[in-house]
A and B are shown apart, each in its own frame.
Chain A
Amino acid sequence: MNFEQFQNQSRLYVIGALEPEEVEEFEKARQKFGKKAEDFIAKCYALHEAFALSLRPAKSSDAIKERLMAMVKAKKET
Chain B
Amino acid sequence: MAAPAKLKIWRVVRSENRWTNSAAQIKTLNCISGIDLFLTLDFRSHMARSKLSSSTGGSRKKRARVAKPRARPLTTAPTLEPGAPTDFELMKGIQAGDADALSQLYDRYNGILKALILRVIHNEAEADDLLQEIFMEIWNQAKNFSPQKGKPLGWMVTLARRRAIDGLRKKQAYARAEERLQNETEQQPDAWVHNATEDEIMLSDTRVLIRKVISSLPPAQQQAIDLAFFRGMSQREIAAKTNTPLGTVKTRLELGLKKIYDGLKDLRDEL
Contact = CB atoms under 8 A, between A and B. Distances in A.
Interface of A: 7-8, 11-12, 15-19, 38, 42, 44-61, 64-65, 67-69, 71-73, 75-76
Contacts of A15: 225, 228-229, 257
Please give me the 6 A-B residue pairs with the lowest Cβ-Cβ distance, nearest first: A57-B111, A56-B42, A55-B115, A11-B257, A17-B228, A58-B114
Contacts of A54: 37, 41-43, 47, 207, 210
B114 A57 contact: yes
21 contacts: A15-B229, A15-B257, A16-B162, A42-B149, A45-B154, A46-B75, A47-B264, A48-B157, A49-B153, A50-B75, A50-B210, A52-B160, A53-B43, A55-B40, A57-B115, A58-B111, A58-B114, A58-B115, A60-B128, A64-B110, A75-B139
Interface of A is mostly: helix
Nearest to A47: B261
Nearest to A11: B257
Contacts of B102: 68-69, 72
Contacts of B173: none
Interface of B: 37, 40-47, 50, 74-75, 97, 99, 102-103, 106-107, 110-116, 118-119, 127-128, 131-132, 135-136, 139-140, 149-151, 153-154, 157-158, 160-162, 192, 207, 210, 225, 228-230, 232-236, 250, 253-254, 257-258, 260-261, 264
A72 B149 contact: no
A55 B131 contact: no
Contacts of B115: 52, 55-58
Contact of B132 (A17, A48, A59, A64): A64
Given A45-B154, A48-B154, A64-B132, A57 B232 contact: no
A34 to B, nearest CB: 14
A9 to B, nearest CB: 8
Nearest to B238: A17
Given A53-B112, A55-B40, A76-B97, 10 more contacts: A12-B235, A19-B234, A45-B151, A46-B264, A52-B113, A53-B50, A57-B112, A71-B136, A72-B136, A75-B139
B132 A12 contact: no
Contacts of A75: 139-140
Contacts of A49: 75, 151, 153-154, 157
Given A16-B228, A47-B264, A64-B132, A55 B106 contact: no
Contacts of B261: 11, 44, 47
A55 B234 contact: no
B257 A47 contact: yes
